[in-house]
Amino acid sequence: LDPKALRYMSNDDFRVLTAIEVGSRNHDIVPAPLIAQLSHLRGGGANRHISDLVKRKLIATEQNSKYKGYKLVYAGYDYLALRTLSKRGTVTSVGNQIGVGKESDIFVVAGEDEKEVVLKLHRLGRQSFRNVKNKRDYFRQDQSPSWMYMSRLSAMKEYAFMKVLHENGFPVPVPVDQNRHCVVMEFVEAFPLRQISQVGEPGKLYSKLMDLIVRLAKYGLIHGDFNEFNILLKDDGTPILIDFPQMVSTSHPNAEFYFNRDVDCIRTFFKRRYNYESVLYPKFGLDSDKEFDLDVQVAASGFTKKDQFQLENYMNELSEQARNAGEDYSDELPSDEEIVYESDEDDEAQEDIDGQGSAADRDQEDSSDDDEYTVETDRLGNTIRRKRNADASANNKDSSSSKD
């Protein structure tokens, strides 16, 4: 992530990037005439900006059997998100990368008042996306998920769960903002549990973590990846829970499996690392009677059961594809935040696409500063249409008439 070029990019550059984002909704490869149409740049203007964006490696040139076109790559998507977060004042500068995982990159950035916060960029399917099968029963027959959509969905899920957990007093980083595939959260002064070779009272920490698993279940949630990689420990011994894309409801068909796996991960780690073993541990059904419905609150925030179903099946398929290819992608692997804090829109796109269609309040900002255009977004913040405002069109006509 190199944001230096942001300061040199014009509004028209971002018009073109946004146009490719829009066109990607219905085209794997977006043709240049469509980019010109969506960006409202005529007379070869779009081609010049396309060339500049290719040189900056924000888009890629692709050729199919019918035409030559362009695709947005992660760097270009990063710039669109950073542009919006910058306009909101959420991110003012980008610092060092502090984490990398199978599905994300993590950076320290400066937010409001130059306060350090964490920027997490979800990159779902970065390794295996091209190998994912085309036939999926969790998408419409004529709809194929893009890496943009699935990464955005993953970020939306993490932000929604983090926000609800924070509001209900759980020890999680404070969520700050979310746009596209990016989540901004509090920077926590803590270390991953896997880096800590000794603790003063292993039994006390063990009890805290098991109580946290039980408390989550009583609130209707299961972390799904509760292990030493996703638990930070502060100096005062307070555990902080991170990484939520795999979190599920206790009403999930495999809830008991995920609950037991979380418990077993902690038992195994404490026995191996601290030589501590307890005969006491929570059991699903006995210690997980639901008292609150945080899963319902999450759904009310905009991340629906349908979104959960699509994302979960897609992630499972990526894992299956990676395993079949002999890649290291098992559930026992370190998670996305493995090394956090360690040193060592063509017009057809107006139609509501299943799982992608409603308007969201959070991501209404356009990537361009141009006030003469109205930008319509779906509920995930994806730009689906740019159209010229009536007043702007009238002003342009008046201007043309005066010139005549």
So which residues are the catalytic ones? 225
Q: Tell me phi and psi for residue 371, to 5 degrees.
A: -80, -10
Structure tokens at 344: 């060592």
User: What would the two tokens of residue 301 be?
Assistant: 């925030």
CA distance 192 to 86: 29
- What value, to the nearest 5°, has the Cα angle with vertex 110 and ends 240 and 245? 40
The tokens for 99 are 């984490």
β-strand pairing of 191-192 with 248-249:
unpaired
Which DSSP letter does residue 174 get? P
Six-digit token string for 40 = 């409202």
> Tokens 């899920």, residue?
157
Extract the runs of DSSP E, i.e. beta strands, from 196-331: 221-222, 231-233, 239-241, 248-249
Whole-angstrom distance, CA of residue 83 vs CA of residue 38: 19
Whole-number Å distance between alpha carbons of 242 and 346: 38
Q: Check if the beta carbon of residue 291 is closer than 8 Å to that of residue 221.
A: no
Distance in angstroms (rounded) separating the CA atoms of residues 53 and 367:
15
Residue pair 205/239 in contact (Cβ under 8 Å)? The answer is: yes
Q: How far is it, in rounded angstroms, from Cα 328 to Cα 320?
A: 11
For residue 20, what are its two tokens? 């490719």
Other beta carbons within 10 Å of 32: 14
Measured between alpha carbons, how far is 174 from 157 in angstroms, rounded to an integer? 15
Q: How far is CA 380 from CA 69, 264, 375, in A?
A: 25, 35, 14
